[in-house]
Every structure is written in structure tokens, then in C-alpha cells.
A and B are shown apart, each in its own frame.
Chain A
């Protein structure tokens, strides 16, 4: 339908974004690829000789590599599970008539605005700390031994913190989707004698599928590179219990200042992220096109 002219104009209009992103990707990425073949440590200035794939060998044989990969997946899937399921339940609740709905919504949305660093600091010190934290006090009041969140269940604790930040986002999108559901359809189903449960599974859930996919896609993009929360709370530990790929790359390039190794890790992380991206896009593409 579009004319030749508008096609050309379209191309013209899309090009600044494409060119800029291409540069943003290719310049640092190109430099990173180049660095990943060098022995290049910031603390040891020298001529940075070309060493081929040595850095990649070191990266893949790093004893922390597989645990980090595993932790990354657990973190992403854990947060996605909590926020999507929690978000659907919360959206269903908020969709009901109630007193003070506006205020409830304001309260629920708030965690999304909090800086990751701040929320990690607050959770770590004021809630999860096994001596001075609020959870420890609650446990002791109820007669239990305080649970030591960050050393006994570091990854789970981080999942909790991150999920707290993203739950509002999921809830909002799902709630908007829910509100767009044709109420006549629901009423008709109710007339036909469909119970609340079957109405949820046969009408609401399929309607929410699209929104849920969007939630999953956006969150995955951010969750793959969760970093501040780990840095502030556990530093990837104890051991490597809460080290994800981003943190592993960080510990190599900024703790060891081994730019070569860190670059190799960065490239591996980019490739893995793209695999996930392609996979996700397939999924979302299907879900959004229909």
C-alpha cells in the first residue's frame, strides 16, 4: 500500500537509529573482540601481545564458568516465575472492586522506582541481616533461630530482592491487559455456568498470554545483566553461589583488571545473550503477530 516515496522516507527515518546503534554495538564490540585476543592487563603495562584464543581457553576452563551460567539461568527463571505468577495473581486482585484502589496501586507500583543499589542495600542491611535485620527479629520473636539469608541461600535472597523490584512492572502490564478484557465475554461465560476457576483458565489466562510474553521479554533483557544487586549484597559468594555471568565478567575485568580475559568473557556473554534473544524473539514474534 505504501508508495515508493514513503518507503524511501521510511528508510531515511529509520537510519539514524540503526546507524547509531550499529556504531554503539560495533565500536565497543569490535574493540572488545580485539582485546579478547590480547594478553592485556591494566595493572601490567607492556606491549599487550596477541595470544590467540588463550583468553577464551581460560574463560571456559574457569571453575566458576559453569556455576555462573547455571546461576544466571536460575536467577532469570526464578525472578520470571515469581513476577509472572505473582503479577497475574496481584492483577486479578487489583482488578476487583475495593476501597482505596488508587492508593493500593500507588503502594504496589513503588518498588519499581527504587534504584537497584538502594533496594539491595536496604534489603541486605535492614531486613536480611541475621543479627540486626527485621527478619531476624521476627524469627526470634516467634522463637526460631534467625535465618541467615545471604550466606545460607544467597541466590534465593537475590532472586527475592530482584523479584520485589520487578513485580510492580509485571503487575501493571498484566493489570492493564486484564482491564482491556471484554467484560461481556466474562458475563456471558458466567451465564453459561462457568465457575470462577474455569473462567480464569479459559478466558482470562489466554487473554493474558500476550501481556505475559511481553513481561517475560522485557524482564529477561534486564535480568540477564543483573549486577548491582549482587555486588552490593553477596559479591557473588559465598564461593560462587551467587556469581552470574555478568558478575564473573566483572570480577575478571575490574577486579583482576585482566582486560583480555574480561573481554573474552564479555564476548561469550554477548553470544549467549543473543542466543536467548533469538529464542525469545521467536516466541514473542509468534505471540505478537497473530
Chain B
């Protein structure tokens, strides 16, 4: 149907496109994260190397960005030449032929240097469809001073029982110290990123091999019970509206004993300019279930991709190649210090002794990324891939809706059983609407 409309109205747009094709101005849509902001400050180097390419930035908060670029690419709006998207979108969009494969990126580009698990998430049929700008997994960050005060030592592989014990002993609500901070804000990329990972570590899964939702399984029950117990007893107030940023602010101001979240947080909490607890931060792998060995590590990367509809693909490619190259890493190291380079994408960075010394969290980050198994995230067999998400187009909506239900349980408006039943019902409904099993 929409093709008919396009036919009727499309003629007018040809004029606009034709006029734009001559100018070498590319529009880059990006997220307002520190690493991206930093890149905008280093554009002089790009302009020097490519004086014929002008870059216009559209910097947006993550959710607004996702909504904008998805609407644009799905309607073929053509407003952007480079998109910042997650590894959730890349395989789905690549399968729709919405993205340009990134081939011939130049002799120095060395795509084989990308960390294998990261590159795997961006590759469809042997072709790379997006270049990773930075990548992260999950890990446990904790306050060494508080743990010591509690008379405990961090095991090499902490399990959820230890976390509960430690959270209890570290909590001192009078002094505004909460044993554990976890995400509670609803969203597939917020609380569900954490809860899906945690569920994986508990051996739960989203769907069985017939795409039947599994929220009625005992593993999910254990997951949610543990989570709610931790957060209601030892978590900060207002946890149901805390996402990554809120928890980061809490941890940086010394209000959290432990925090399980993205590895990328390590560079913020250990930065003495921003964090009041920089000297007392320890790192450990994301917890396992007692006796288990699945850390449920997630894998997330922010990537630069080029829409197949872009009229300025060469200029866009030149930009993507520059922004994700080894030279860019060197450039950031030179201007901002080596600890601030975008982490998690290239093997060469983790072989650089200078980086390993400057960034105490580097080894743990690399280990977490390498341990992330997005192909079989759970101990049980699953029909999907993805660590903290399920890589189907419907997941955004379902994940966010389930996230709302769990967030309500955390806020105390329903209990774990009601939340799981509601999650099961709504997921079943959405999946049958979407026509699964396919």
C-alpha cells in the first residue's frame, strides 16, 4: 500500500535529492554518550584529512535517537548518512537490506583486529554491516572499603548468595549507603538488559525452542525473587526509576556498595574528577548462580552504520573508517589520555601495555566481553541469539512492556508472581500477534 502512495507523491522528492547529491555534507546521528561527545571535539583531525567532507551532528538522548533513526530508515526518509545504532539493530536491519555492507574501508583499517564476539554480532552472511565504536559487557563494581568494613572478601567468581550477604552487610541506610544498586527503570535496554542477563545466569530463557514464553519457569521465579529481595531490602529508594545514569550518579557519590552494570561505567567510577570513591573501586565478574558457571555476560556495542539509502556513501564510509580506526584511538589517547579511549572494540588496544596500566578495569572488561556468549546465552536451548536481548524485531516492544511489569513489581504495586504471570500473558499475546512460531 505505501508503495502506491510513494508512487503518487514521490516525484516531488526527486528534486530535493538531486540537489543534495552535490554537496559533501554528511549528517551523523549519534547518542549523547561521553565517547561520542569527545569525538565531536576531535573533528579538527577529520576535517584536516578530509577537507571536502563536512559533518553535521545530530546528538540525541538514546531513546529519542532510536525512535528517530528507526522511523527514518524504515520509511526510507534518508535524513542521515551515518547512524549510531546498537548491536541489537544491526543484524535485523541488515537482513532488511537497510544497511550498506562495510567493505573496502582502506588498507589501514584492519577489520580483523575487532574483538571476535563484537564483530560476530555485527556480521551477517560474512559481511560486516556496522563498525563498532565502543563495546561493553557487564561486570560487578564494588567498594573495596565497604566490603572490607563488612569483613568480607570478594571471591573470584561471586554468586548471587554472596551478593545478597554482602549487600546486607554493606547497607547502612542511616549513612545513605545502599548495599546494591541495580537498574529498575523500565525498558528493554534498561532493567531488562540487566534482568535478562541475570536470568541467563540463573539458567532461565525467554523462549523455548517453539517460541513459547518461559516466564512461568522456576528459573525466572528465582531470578525475580532474588532481584526483588536485593533491591527492596538493600537497594536505594526510587530504584524503579533508576537506569544506568542514575545508578552511575549514585555510585559516584558513594551511595552504593555494589553495582552490576556495563563495563564502560568503570572508566567513570574510577575517574577522580567525577567520582568521590575513585580510589575504592574493585571489579569482579558478573555473578553466577550458586554452583553455576554462566555469568550471563551481556554484550552491547554502539556502532556506526551507513543506511543503504544514503546518497553520500563514500563520504560516509570515510567518516566511519576514521572514527573506528586505530588512528582514532591514538588520537583520543593523545588529547584526552589513554584511559579515555573508546573501549572494547579492538584486540590491539588490549595488547597495549600503556592502556592496561592506565586502565585498571581493562583486563576485567576484556574478560567479560570474551566471556559473553550471544549465540547460546542460556544453559537451556534457545531459538534466538543475543545476550541481554532477543534479536527479533518484536523484542523492543515486548522487552519494554515486560520491563514495565517488573518495574511495577519493584515499585511494590504487584508481587513477583503477579508480575511473572503478567509478563507471560503479554509476551504470549504479542508473540501470537507477530505470528510466532515462524
Q: What residues of chain A have their CB less than 8 Å away from a CB belonging to chain B?
A: 31, 34, 38, 40-45, 47-48, 58, 63, 124, 129-132, 136, 145-146, 148, 150-152, 233-241, 251-252, 254-258
Which residues of the partner chain B approach A233 to less than 8 Å between Cβ atoms? 241
Q: A42-B70, A239-B404 are known contacts; what are 14 more A-B pairs with Cβ within 8 Å?
A: A40-B1, A43-B394, A130-B237, A146-B237, A146-B238, A151-B410, A236-B404, A237-B407, A237-B411, A238-B186, A239-B407, A239-B411, A240-B408, A257-B70
Which residues of the partner chain A approach B241 to less than 8 Å between Cβ atoms? 124, 150-151, 233-234
Given A42-B71, A44-B393, A241 and B176 contact (CB-CB distance below 8 Å): no
Which residues of the partner chain A approach B153 to less than 8 Å between Cβ atoms? none
Which residues of the partner chain A approach B92 to less than 8 Å between Cβ atoms? 43
Q: Does B185 contact A (CB under 8 A)?
A: yes
Q: Does B131 contact A (CB under 8 A)?
A: no
Q: Which of A40, A44, A237, A240 has most B Cβ within 10 Å?
A: A237
Shortest CB–CB separation between residue A214 and chain B, in angstroms?
34
A38: nearest chain-B partner, CB-CB: B1
Shortest CB–CB separation between residue A42 and chain B, in angstroms?
4
Q: Does B348 contact A (CB under 8 A)?
A: no
Query: 23 pairs across A/B with beta carbons < 8 Å?
Result: A34-B1, A38-B1, A43-B70, A63-B422, A63-B426, A129-B238, A131-B176, A131-B236, A131-B237, A131-B255, A146-B238, A151-B240, A152-B411, A235-B186, A237-B186, A238-B240, A239-B411, A239-B414, A251-B401, A252-B397, A255-B67, A255-B397, A258-B397
Q: Which of A129, A132, A239, A251 contacts B405 (CB 8 A)?
A: A239
Q: Which of A40, A146, A234 has most B Cβ within 10 Å?
A: A234
Determine whether the beta carbon of B396 is less than 8 Å from that of A256. yes
Determine whether the beta carbon of B74 is less than 8 Å from that of A43. yes
Shortest CB–CB separation between residue B228 and chain A, in angstroms?
13
Instruction: Give bound CA distance, A130 to B249, whole Å.
Output: 13
Q: Does B22 contact A (CB under 8 A)?
A: no
Instruction: Give bound CA distance, A150 to B186, whole Å.
Output: 13
**Chain B 197-218 interface 0/1 with A at a Cβ cutoff of 8 Å (1 = within):** 0000000000000000000000
**Chain B 250-268 interface 0/1 with A at a Cβ cutoff of 8 Å (1 = within):** 1001010000000000000
Q: Which of A41, A241, A251, A256 contacts B413 (CB 8 A)?
A: A241
A240: nearest chain-B partner, CB-CB: B404
Instruction: Give bound CA distance, A124 to B92, whole Å.
Output: 34
Determine whether the beta carbon of B237 is less than 8 Å from that of A43. no
Instruction: Give bound CA distance, A236 to B411, whole Å.
Output: 13
| 10 A-B pairs closest in CB distance | A239-B408, A256-B397, A130-B238, A42-B74, A238-B411, A43-B393, A238-B408, A151-B411, A130-B237, A151-B240
Which residues of the partner chain B approach A234 to less than 8 Å between Cβ atoms? 241
Instruction: Give bound CA distance, A59 to B92, whole Å.
Output: 26
Main SS class of interface, A: loop
A254: nearest chain-B partner, CB-CB: B67
A148: nearest chain-B partner, CB-CB: B238
Determine whether the beta carbon of B74 is less than 8 Å from that of A235. no
Shortest CB–CB separation between residue B185 and chain A, in angstroms?
7
Shortest CB–CB separation between residue B394 and chain A, in angstroms?
8
Q: Which of A151, A233, A235, A241 has most B Cβ within 10 Å?
A: A151
Interface residues of B in 399-424 (CB under 8 A from A): 400-401, 404-405, 407-408, 410-414, 422
Instruction: Give bound CA distance, A58 to B396, whole Å.
Output: 18
Q: Does B2 contact A (CB under 8 A)?
A: yes
Q: What residues of chain B have their CB less than 8 Å away from a CB belonging to chain A?
A: 1-2, 5, 67, 70-71, 74-75, 92, 96, 176, 185-187, 236-241, 246, 249-250, 253, 255, 393-394, 396-397, 400-401, 404-405, 407-408, 410-414, 422, 425-426, 433
Which residues of the partner chain B approach A58 to less than 8 Å between Cβ atoms? 433
Which residues of the partner chain A approach B413 to less than 8 Å between Cβ atoms? 238-239, 241
Which residues of the partner chain B approach A34 to less than 8 Å between Cβ atoms? 1
Which residues of the partner chain A approach B5 to less than 8 Å between Cβ atoms? 31
Instruction: Give bound CA distance, A130 to B186, whole Å.
Output: 17
Shortest CB–CB separation between residue B231 and chain A, in angstroms?
11
Given A151-B238, A151-B411, A235 and B185 contact (CB-CB distance below 8 Å): yes
Shortest CB–CB separation between residue A68 and chain B, in angstroms?
12
Q: Which of A131, A234, A239 has most B Cβ within 10 Å?
A: A239
Instruction: Give bound CA distance, A44 to B237, whole Å.
Output: 40
B401: nearest chain-A partner, CB-CB: A251
Instruction: Give bound CA distance, A129 to B237, whole Å.
Output: 9
Which residues of the partner chain B approach A151 to less than 8 Å between Cβ atoms? 238-241, 410-411
Given A239-B414, A257-B74, A48 and B2 contact (CB-CB distance below 8 Å): yes
Instruction: Give bound CA distance, A240 to B75, whole Å.
Output: 29
B176: nearest chain-A partner, CB-CB: A131
Determine whether the beta carbon of B70 is less than 8 Å from that of A237. no
Q: Which of B71, B236, B404, B425 contacts A237 (CB 8 A)?
A: B404
Shortest CB–CB separation between residue A103 and chain B, in angstroms?
36
Instruction: Give bound CA distance, A31 to B9, whole Å.
Output: 13
Q: Which of B5, B185, B250 has most A Cβ within 10 Å?
A: B185
Given A63-B425, A150-B241, A235-B185, A251 and B400 contact (CB-CB distance below 8 Å): yes
Determine whether the beta carbon of B74 is less than 8 Å from that of A238. no
Instruction: Give bound CA distance, A137 to B86, whole Å.
Output: 38
Shortest CB–CB separation between residue A134 and chain B, in angstroms?
14
Instruction: Give bound CA distance, A129 to B176, whole Å.
Output: 14
Instruction: Give bound CA distance, A84 to B326, whole Å.
Output: 62
Instruction: Give bound CA distance, A199 to B75, whole Å.
Output: 62
Instruction: Give bound CA distance, A234 to B413, whole Å.
Output: 15
Instruction: Give bound CA distance, A9 to B329, whole Å.
Output: 70
Which residues of the partner chain A approach B394 to less than 8 Å between Cβ atoms? 43, 256
Instruction: Give bound CA distance, A223 to B410, whole Å.
Output: 29
Shortest CB–CB separation between residue A256 and chain B, in angstroms?
3
Shortest CB–CB separation between residue B400 and chain A, in angstroms?
6
Determine whether the beta carbon of B393 is less than 8 Å from that of A132. no
Which residues of the partner chain A approach B393 to less than 8 Å between Cβ atoms? 41, 43-44, 257
Which residues of the partner chain A approach B239 to less than 8 Å between Cβ atoms? 151
Determine whether the beta carbon of B250 is less than 8 Å from that of A131. yes
Shortest CB–CB separation between residue B393 and chain A, in angstroms?
4
Shortest CB–CB separation between residue B425 and chain A, in angstroms?
7
